[in-house]
Amino acid sequence: MSFWNTRRTETAPVLAALAAVVLWGLSFVATKQALSELSPLTLIVFRFAIGVTALALILKLRGAALVPPREFLPTLALMGFVGIFVHQVVQVHGLEKTTAVRTGWLIGLSPIWTAILAALFLKERLGVARIAGLLLGLAGALLVVTRGRLSGELLAMPSTTGDLLVLASTVNWAIYSTIGRGTLRALGSARSTFAIMMLGWLMVIPLWLARGARLPQNFGAATLGSLLFLGIGCSALGYLFWYAALEKLDASRVAAFLYVEPLVTMAAAVLVLGEPVAWTTVVGGVLVIAGVVLVQRR
């Protein structure tokens, strides 16, 4: 079942991609909070248990079948392995060991990898304007998360285990965003998202059990709220919106919205942690928006 029931303009998938990135930008604050009481694997297992349940309810309300046709299972399993199992295990462990600022800086590289892979394997045409937009967005994201302080220490990244893990997750996400487009269009984004998330979640559980399957001793209200937001918002709706956008738009165009993610993370830090807004944030944000506009142009 496609996310789009009727023929629509490109505005809808563009808004879907933007919504996914906004949710994921907020996820860093929620993940950091949840990691104060949960181990990375426990967080992933609980988060996607909630996400899978939410997606199952969405599909049931729409009258769609939960089990995909057998011929789609190999591709869906591959996407679940790459996009859920590998991506979440690597990124959450990386986020545990590095800062949100460094994470935002490295995630700004994802659209570049996606554009390169899409050009190589999906034969997507980049063009001068799209390349310029990707580079402009990268410059804006870099300015926002570094606040203009390009010190030698920052430019030496990745310099820690956490940085290396986050960097690996950006390459992995680019691979994830370029595989399975035929499956998405044939099966529909809603059913594909549920199957991918279910299969990826089932792959994480044996690893969690092998590592001791530690359950939280003190499960505070803040952690519960973070898990619900991560499960329903960032997992169920975030992945659903992302796939809905990939169903209709080029992978490189969708990936360009990831440049907005550091802006959302910074805004959340201002509201939750009381951090001041620097002039570099405003200028960098303008560059990010300009870069996305360039990439979205035909």
Domain ranges, residue 155: 16-296
Cα–Cα distance, 240 to 228 (Å, whole number): 16
Cα–Cα distance, 80 to 193 (Å, whole number): 9
In a domain, 6, yes or no: no
Q: What is the DSSP letter of 86?
A: I
In a domain, 46, yes or no: yes
In a domain, 8, yes or no: no
In a domain, 7, yes or no: no
| Averaged confidence pLDDT in the chain | 80
Axis-axis angle for helices 11-34, 87-97 (nearest 10): 50
In a domain, 35, yes or no: yes
In a domain, 84, yes or no: yes
Total tally of structural domains belonging to the chain: 1
In a domain, 3, yes or no: no
Supply φ then ψ for residue 117, to 5 degrees. -65, -40
CA distances from 37 to 46, 50, 96, 217 (A): 13, 18, 12, 8
In a domain, 4, yes or no: no
Tokens for 81?
Answer: 């392995």
Q: What is the pLDDT along the chain (298 residues), one digit of tens a residue?
A: 555 554 456 788 889 999 998 998 888 788 888 888 888 999 999 999 999 999 999 888 888 888 888 999 999 999 999 999 999 999 888 888 776 666 766 676 677 777 778 778 777 777 787 788 878 877 877 776 666 766 655 555 555 677 778 878 888 888 887 787 778 778 887 888 899 999 999 999 999 999 887 776 677 888 899 999 999 999 899 988 988 888 888 777 787 787 787 778 777 777 775 656 677 767 877 787 777 677 666 5
